[in-house]
Chains A and B, each alone.
Chain A
Amino acid sequence: MDAIILQILNGLDKGSAYALIALGLTLIFGTLGVVNFAHGALFMIGAFVAVTLQRIFNLSFEQIDPTKKDFLGNPLKVEVPYVEAWFGADVGDWLIDWSVPLAIIFAIPVMLLVGFVMERGLIKHFYKRPHADQILVTFGLAIVLQELIKYFFGANPIQTGAPDAFSGSMDFGVLLGFDPNVIIYPYWRLVYFLFAAIVIGAVFSFLQFTTFGMVVRAGMADRETVGLLGINIDKRFTLMFGLAAAVAGMAGVMYTPILAPNYHMGMDFLVLSFVVVVVGGMGSLPGAVAAGFLLGVLQSFASMNEIKSLIPGIDQVIIYLVAIIILLTRPRGLMGRAGVMEE
Chain B
Amino acid sequence: MKMLGLSQRDTTFLLIVVFLTLVTPILLQPFPEGSGMATFNAGYPDLMQRFAIFGIFAIGFNILFGLTGYLSFGHAAFLGVGSYSVVWMYKLLGYNVVPGILLAVIVSALFALLIGYVSLRRSGIYFSILTLAFAQMSYNLAYSVLTPLTNGETGLQVYTNDPQVLMGENSPTSPHFFGIVMNESAKLNVGGWEFTFNNGYYFCAIVAILVFYLSLRIFRSPFGLMLRAIKTNQTRLNYTGLNSRPYTLAAFVISGMYAGLAGALMASMDPLAGAERMQWTASGEVVLMTILGGAGTLMGPILGAGFIKYFENIFSKINDNMLHQWFAWMPDGIEDFLIGLSHFFVGKSWHLTLGLLFMLVVIFLPGGLVEGGQRIAKAVRNRRSKGDGAEAQTQPAE
Chain A residues in the interface with B (C-beta under 8 A): 35, 122, 125, 129, 131-133, 135-137, 139-144, 146-148, 150-151, 271, 274-275, 278-279, 282, 312-313, 316-317, 320-321, 323-324, 327-328, 331-333, 341-343
Contacts and interface: CB of A to CB of B under 8 A. Distances in A.
A interface: dominant SS = helix
Given A132-B291, A324-B133, A327-B129, A143 B355 contact: yes
B126 A271 contact: no
B132 A342 contact: no
B141 A144 contact: no
B125 interface: yes
Contact of A341 (B125, B140, B343): B125
12 contacts: A125-B363, A131-B71, A136-B291, A139-B288, A140-B357, A141-B359, A143-B352, A143-B355, A274-B129, A323-B130, A341-B125, A342-B123
A313 B144 contact: yes
A147 B349 contact: yes
A140 to B, nearest CB: 3
A275 B123 contact: no
Interface string B343-369: 110000101101111110111001000
B36 to A, nearest CB: 26
B362 A140 contact: yes
Nearest to A314: B145
A324 to B, nearest CB: 5
Contact of A324 (B130, B141, B292): B130
Nearest to A37: B284
Nearest to B133: A320
Interface residues of B, number: 44
A147 B280 CA distance: 19
B122 interface: yes
Nearest to B66: A132
Contacts of A321: 133, 137
A140 B362 CA distance: 9
A133 to B, nearest CB: 5
A271 B137 CA distance: 13
Contacts of A132: 65, 71, 287, 291, 295
B123 A343 contact: yes
Contacts of A131: 71, 125
B125 A317 contact: no
A327 B366 CA distance: 32
A279 B128 CA distance: 12
B134 A320 contact: yes
B126 A275 contact: no
B118 A137 contact: no
Contacts of A125: 363
Contacts, number: 128
A146 to B, nearest CB: 8
A40 to B, nearest CB: 12
Interface of B: 65, 69, 71, 118, 121-126, 129-130, 132-134, 136-137, 140-141, 144-145, 234, 280, 284, 287-288, 291-292, 295, 343-344, 349, 351-352, 354-359, 361-363, 366
Q: Which of A141, A147, A274 lies at the interface centre, i.e. has the most chain B CB atoms within 10 A of its CB? A: A147
A320 B137 contact: yes
A172 to B, nearest CB: 31
Nearest to A270: B280
A328 B118 contact: yes
Contact of B129 (A146, A151, A323): A323
A144 B362 CA distance: 15
A132 B70 CA distance: 11
A320 B141 contact: no
Contact of A140 (B133, B295, B356): B356
Given A147-B355, A324-B118, A135 B291 contact: yes
Given A136-B292, A323-B129, A328 B359 contact: no
A139 B126 contact: no
Contacts of A137: 358-359, 362-363
B125 A278 contact: yes
Contacts of B344: 151
Contacts of B343: 151
B34 to A, nearest CB: 32
Contacts of B126: 278, 282, 327, 331-333, 341-342
Nearest to A339: B124
Contacts of A312: 145
A312 B366 CA distance: 46
Contacts of A274: 129, 132
B349 A151 contact: yes
B362 A136 contact: yes
Nearest to B353: A147
A320 B140 CA distance: 10
Contacts of B358: 136-137, 139-140, 143
Nearest to A144: B355
Given A136-B292, A313-B144, A271 B280 contact: yes
Contact of B288 (A136, A275, A316, A324): A136
Given A282-B124, A324-B130, A328-B122, 15 more contacts: A132-B291, A133-B366, A139-B284, A143-B351, A143-B354, A144-B355, A144-B356, A146-B351, A147-B351, A151-B344, A317-B137, A324-B118, A324-B133, A331-B122, A342-B125
